[in-house]
Structure 1
Amino acid sequence: MLNSHESAIGQSFYKIPRLSGRIVGIWPEYDRSWATNLICAFSFFVILVGACGENLYGIANLDNLIRALEAFCPGSTKAVCVLKLSIFVINHREWFKLVERLRVILYSSRSYEAQKTLVGKSTIANRLSLLLVSSGSITNMAFNIQPLIMRLYRWAYEIPGQLDLPFNIM
């Protein structure tokens, strides 16, 4: 999708979403490699297991509303992610064509004012995308590390307790 003769703004086109999409194997390519399909299948499987497990845990614990909601909230978010991932995989060629058409439209005007506007909007879009990716990653990391920190604290001060993992999966 990148041309070696493109400007710097062309190389930064969808830079953060492209990075995020490639991590899970959904960034649109006309022909997907077997490695990309394998990464996507692995991502889909992990998210599907999490969605099913947390929602089943919520159903099994309906008598304790707080525990059920603690499972349903991330479980329903993962279920929506499974749906979105499915749509991206099924329609990857159409998404590729859409991104290419958008690229052509954005670069059709060669005037200085149009290019200046493009640089400004692209910079803002990349910064906002980076904010979303980084805040989500930091939240995920804190959510996963918090039980380990609590266990280390209990161990250091010899406080009895069990290790509670961050996922309520059945």
Structure 2
Amino acid sequence: MSRWLRFLNKNEPLSVYFFAVPRNCLNLMGYWPGGADNKDKKTDKNPPIRAYVHFVILAIGVTTELHAGMRFLHQEELTLALETFCPAATSAVTLLKMFLMLRYRQDISNMWCRLRTLLFDRRRERPDQLDIRLRHSLLAVWINCWPVCAGFFTGSVYNSKPVLIALVLYLQQRSDEILWVIPFNMTMPSFLLKSPFFPFTYLFTAYTGYVTIFMFGGCDGFYFEFCSHISALFEILQSETKALFKPYKDRLSIDAEEALHLEQQLRAIVIRHNALIDLIKSFRQRYAIITLAHFVSAAMVIGFSMVNLLTVGGIGLGVILYVAYTIAAASQLLVYCYGGTLVAESSLGLSRTLFACPWNICWPSQRRYVQLMLLRSQKALTMAVPFFSPSLAAFASEIQDLLQHFDSLPAKAKPE
């Protein structure tokens, strides 16, 4: 277990933190696009068998949950319908993520390898750059741990709710009122809900919840980790640019040898800047459907949870469940929005760094490189998908809208 959780220590090598949370989650499910460790540069085109097994398990869970939700809706049992659609929506989007991770497995693996090559370039091992990479790696680890922990807690509450209710009734000597049900509302054949099959059905339905948790933890964590390291690479470019122009800070001109050296260094920075822009565009294209589907589903889940909170009322296990679900869904949104903000701000910061450098002393050939980077970095790079761009501003706006809708409800409709 210590080998799996080494990334929680602060004194480990940088390679231990690199994609630690998404690698563990996706590797557990069989969807990690890279090798078993960071030394593997290639990925097997055929994913492990457990990837297909988990896909089938979750597909069964999604189908039976949606059927149960529609049945409750047809019977006008709104509370049960919403309680069913909350996990069903999350699981359905997770199933889409699983399909796309398999569909673009090779492309995602190639982008991961390109990112690692840029990040662990041994020719540029200055102390300040090591600090930048370590800071962003630790940030990614702690941010990615939060949605996984929140989701694991929510799933555990769902899975333990029937047992806890039965235990309370037993302690109150009301054993005749105990009704054994499965953790999630799923349409199952009647014989699977009776002895001796019921324990296996219970375990199966509980496991579908954990498949969802580790898959969205890995897939969403991969997104944030990618954005965090892209931000680190932009900061490294800023650091290199400052270091390049630092010797000429108080100079009015440079000679031919210095101009040649400056041009070579600027050319290398321009090449890496262009590589970063191309990498962002490729990654954004592959994650566009995942990001869009995630935002739509997360907004629906938060809305369902808020309605459930209003209908449950009081303080009990149901309230804890829906509060945990709302926090987990909001945490997933935060991961995408924070990642988009990191990329946008760090890419825009390069233009400010270039403008503050004494590039006016350069010869015309070097000025063209500076002007080229200024033109390309003046507009912030974003992780935009159709209809919106993930950012902290978008996250704050969505949370504010939800709170306003909640405050506008009648006082008697709110939970006490």
Out of 138, 142, 146, the position equivalent to 2:157 is 142
Q: Which amino acid aligns with 2:182?
A: L
User: 1:165: how far off?
Assistant: 2.5
Question: 1:69-124: CA deviations, max 9, x gaps?
Answer: 11112111111011000000111111111111111111233221111010011011
CA contact (8 A) 2:21 2:144 kept: yes
User: Quick one: which amino acid aligns to residue 89 of structure 1?
Assistant: L
Could you tell which deviates more after superposition, 159-168 or 68-77? 159-168
Give the Cα–Cα distance (whole angstroms) in 2 for the partners of residues 136 and 32 of structure 1.
30
Matching residue within 20, 24, 27 for 1:19: 24
**1:113 alignment counterpart:** 128
Q: Which residue is 1:169 aligned to?
A: 186
Corresponding residue SS for 1:138: helix
| CA distance, structure 1, for counterparts of residue 24 and residue 159 of structure 2 | 22
Superposed CA RMSD in Å reads 1.6
Q: Which position in structure 1 is the counterpart of 2:240?
A: none
Counterparts of 1:95-106 in structure 2 under 5 Å? Answer: 95-106=108-119
Could you list the per-position Cα deviations for residues 23-44 of structure 1 after superposition, in whole angstroms to 9, with x for gaps in the alignment?
A: 11110031156xx521111111
Equivalent position of 1:132 in the other structure: 147
- Residue in structure 2 matched with residue 50 of structure 1 by the alignment: 61
User: 2:138 aligned to 123, 127, 152, which one?
Assistant: 123
One of 151, 162, 170 as aligned partner of 2:166: 151
Distance in structure 2 (CA, Å) of the matches to 1:117 and 1:128: 17
Give distance in 1, aligned partners of 2:54 and 2:69: 23
| Match for residue 103 of structure 2 among 83, 86, 90 | 90
CA distance in 2, matches of 1:168, 1:135: 21
Matched with 1:40 is 51
Q: Which deviates more from structure 2 when the two are superposed, residues 65-74 or residues 75-84? A: 65-74
- What is the DSSP-based 3-state SS (H/G/I as helix, E as strand, rest coil) of the residue aligned with 1:61? helix
Q: Separation in 2 of the partners of 1:132 and 1:124?
A: 14
The amino acid across from 1:22 in the alignment is: N
Distance 2:77 2:133 in 1: 52
Q: Structure 2: which 5+ residue stretches go unaligned?
A: 1-11, 35-42, 188-416
SS of residue paired to 1:41: helix
Scaled by the length of structure 1, what TM-score is found? 0.88
> What percentage of residue pairs aligned between the two structures are identical?
24
The farther-off stretch of 159-168 and 138-147 is 159-168
Q: List 4+ stretches of structure 1 deviating above 6 A.
A: none
Matching residue of 2:92: 79
Whole-angstrom CA distance in 1 between matches of 2:13 and 2:53: 33
How many matched pairs?
A: 162
Unaligned runs of 5+ in 1: 1-6
Q: Residue by residue, what CA displacement relative to the aligned partner does 1:107-142 show, whole Å, maximum 9, x if unpaired?
A: 233221111010011011011112221221122112
Moved more, 73-82 or 157-166: 157-166
Letter in 2 for 1:41: Y
**Structure 1 CA distance, aligned partners of 2:82 and 2:103?**
31
**Aligned-partner Cα distance in 2 for 1:168–1:143:** 10
Amino acid at match of 1:111: R
Partners of 1:13 and 1:32 lie apart in 2 by: 22
2:48 aligns to what SS in structure 1?
A: helix
Q: Give the C-alpha shift of residue 11 in structure 1.
A: 2.8
Name the structure, 1 or 2, with higher relative contact order (CA <8 Å, separation 6+): 1
Partner of 1:4: none
Aligned pair partner of 1:31 in 44, 57, 63? 44
Rg larger for: 2
Task: Tell me the amino acid that sits aligned with residue 18 of structure 1.
Answer: R
